[in-house]
Amino acid sequence: MEDMIRWMLLILFSLIFIAEARLESKIFNVKSYGAVANGNTDNSVAFLKAWNDACNWNGKAQVFIPKGTYMLNSIVFKGPCKAFRMGFVIKGILKAPPYPSLFNTDKWIGFLYVNKLTLSGGGTLDGQGASSWPHNNCNKDPHCPTLPITVRFDFINNGKIHDLKSINPKGGHFMIFGSENVKLERLKISAPGDSPNTDGIKIGESNNINITSATIATGDDCIAMISGAKNITIFGVHCGPGHGISVGSLGKNDGEKDVQNIVVKNCTFNGTSNGLRIKTWAASLSKPLRASNFLFQDIFMDKVFSPIIIDQAYCPSHGCSNQVASSVQISDVTYKNIKGSGSSEIGVELNCSKRKPCQNITRVDINLRPYGGKGQLKSLSSFVNGACYGQQIPPSCVG
């Protein structure tokens, strides 16, 4: 009997020991792997070694980048990891090589197939984009290069990106793709207002993504939600300059997925070309698609060219061939407590598809006035079903 108790205790203690070993956390400092913070030496090999050791650690692992400026070539940090939690802490500045070395790669820093990944540290990601921007505006040219996005999360579950700065990307700043349960908090994103194709945060084919307290000043969309973006919450984002918060563009290619359940609350737009925009291509070749269940609430606009816009005839390059009405069905969209000023003549533009009129577009307490001027903004509305409540300036419910 005593022997048995002794054995049971032994087994119990062994189990506790194993559990604790599993929980042991370890820091993998890139400097111990030969990283040099002189701003010119490529550190990709050192960073990859640190990542691989961290990823294979049987516990909680953290890749640590201390203060200093580290040049880093295009790189992918891959899982799945043995570590049950991965941290990537950037205290220093990461610098991309200048043009043209990263052209025709789709990302500068990629994270792929990782569960429980946190990127943080208060550091800066500098894409050194200025030398590439003159080459970014060539969408129609077959030799137009792919633009590298500063950070891509591809197939990341339970991720977090917080307290980081992204400046001057070559392409977009952040892209979340094929991922679930990702939070982005307190990001500071900046690039000049005229830098082409520098989207702030782009989300596609992902579920349950939250963005809070971001400051986004860039040359393209602040936040863009494209095919397959679902259950997105955006709260406390300040946007400008840039092209605003966009759903779409949708309906260009077959195989696109619905976009559903989006909440945008307590956000400010300053000097942006759009505020809240839903855009679908004019030349809609794709199968029917739904964009539905959006709430835009408590939004302040300062000098925004198109504060509220649904554009189902989106065609930025002109000469879209095959101009049929869009087959994207937009429904259940609420705009509530939207205030401030517009800088064009039109405050509310709802240009829906003749083929698929917008359904259940609700407007509650809209107060948009001309920037710095008197009089009223206009509204434009076609193929819209829905209702208006409370204040409506400009009046946008007709009939």
Ligand X SMILES: *[C@@H]1O[C@H](CO)[C@@H](O)[C@H](O)[C@H]1NC(C)=O
Catalytic residues: 243
Q: Applying CB under 6 A, does 212 fall inside the site for ligand X? A: no
Residue nearest to ligand X (CB): 236
Please tell me the distance from the alpha carbon of residue 235 to that of residue 246, in angstroms, as a whole number.
Answer: 14
The kind and range of the H/E element at 136 are: none
Question: Applying CB under 6 A, which of residues 52, 334, 337, 392 lies at the interface with ligand X?
Answer: 334
DSSP conformation class of 6: H
Question: Applying CB under 6 A, which of residues 351, 379, 381, 396 lies at the interface with ligand X?
Answer: 351
Q: Which two tokens stand for residue 310?
A: 């649904």
Please tell me the distance from the alpha carbon of residue 392 to that of residue 383, in angstroms, as a whole number.
Answer: 19
Local structure of 40: helix, strand or coil: strand
Residue span 267-296 as binding mask against ligand X, x where in contact by CB under 6 A, dash where not: -x-x----------------------x---
Question: Applying CB under 6 A, which of residues 231, 337, 367, 392 lies at the interface with ligand X?
Answer: 231
Question: Applying CB under 6 A, which of residues 116, 152, 165, 230 lies at the interface with ligand X?
Answer: 230
Please tell me the distance from the alpha carbon of residue 21 to that of residue 24, in angstroms, as a whole number.
Answer: 5
Q: Applying CB under 6 A, does 344 fall inside the site for ligand X? A: no
Question: Applying CB under 6 A, which of residues 178, 193, 236, 395 lies at the interface with ligand X?
Answer: 236
Query: Rounded to the nearest 10 degrees, how much is the dihedral formed by the CA atoms of 260, 199, 166, 179?
Result: 30
Number of residues that bind ligand X (CB under 6 A): 27
Q: Which is nearer to ligand X, 124 or 260 (CB)?
A: 260
Give residues 239-268 in contact with ligand X (rule: CB under 6 A). 260-261, 266, 268
Q: Which is nearer to ligand X, 77 or 296 (CB)?
A: 296
Say which residues have a Cβ less than 8 Å from residue 321's Cβ, sequence separation at least 6: 283
Q: Applying CB under 6 A, does 392 fall inside the site for ligand X? A: no
Give residues 369-388 in contact with ligand X (rule: CB under 6 A). 380
Please tell me the distance from the alpha carbon of residue 297 to that of residue 211, in angstroms, as a whole number.
Answer: 15
Terminal C-alpha separation, the chain? 88
| Sole window of 75-83, 165-173, 233-241, 388-396 interacting with ligand X (rule: CB under 6 A) | 233-241
Q: How far is the CB of 275 from ligand X (least distance, A)?
A: 12
DSSP conformation class of 144: P
Q: Applying CB under 6 A, does 337 fall inside the site for ligand X? A: no
Q: Which two tokens stand for residue 93?
A: 């500045």
Q: Applying CB under 6 A, does 44 fall inside the site for ligand X? A: no
Q: Applying CB under 6 A, does 162 fall inside the site for ligand X? A: no
Closest CA to 368 of 391, 399, 384, 351: 391
Q: Applying CB under 6 A, does 329 fall inside the site for ligand X? A: no
Longest dimension (CA), the chain: 93
Q: Which is nearer to ligand X, 63 or 358 (CB)?
A: 358
Q: Applying CB under 6 A, does 181 fall inside the site for ligand X? A: yes
Q: Applying CB under 6 A, does 199 fall inside the site for ligand X? A: no
Q: Applying CB under 6 A, does 313 fall inside the site for ligand X? A: yes
Say which residues have a Cβ less than 8 Å from residue 261's Cβ, sequence separation at least 6: 230, 231, 232, 293, 294
Q: How far is the CB of 110 from ligand X (least distance, A)?
A: 21
Q: Which is nearer to ligand X, 197 or 207 (CB)?
A: 207
Cα-to-chain-centroid distance, residue 177:
9
Please tell me the distance from the alpha carbon of residue 187 to that of residue 121, in angstroms, as a whole number.
Answer: 11
Q: How far is the CB of 4 from ligand X (least distance, A)?
A: 47
Question: Applying CB under 6 A, which of residues 78, 91, 238, 290 lies at the interface with ligand X?
Answer: 238
CB 182 within 8 A of CB 153: yes
Please tell me the distance from the alpha carbon of residue 66 to that of residue 144, in angstroms, as a whole number.
Answer: 37
Please tell me the distance from the alpha carbon of residue 165 to that of residue 6, in angstroms, as a whole number.
Answer: 56
* Residues pairing with 370 in the sheet: 342
Q: How far is the CB of 175 from ligand X (least distance, A)?
A: 17
Which positions touch ligand X (CB under 6 A)? Answer: 181, 183, 207-208, 210, 230-231, 233, 236, 238, 260-261, 266, 268, 270, 293, 300, 302, 313, 325, 332, 334, 351, 354, 360, 362, 380
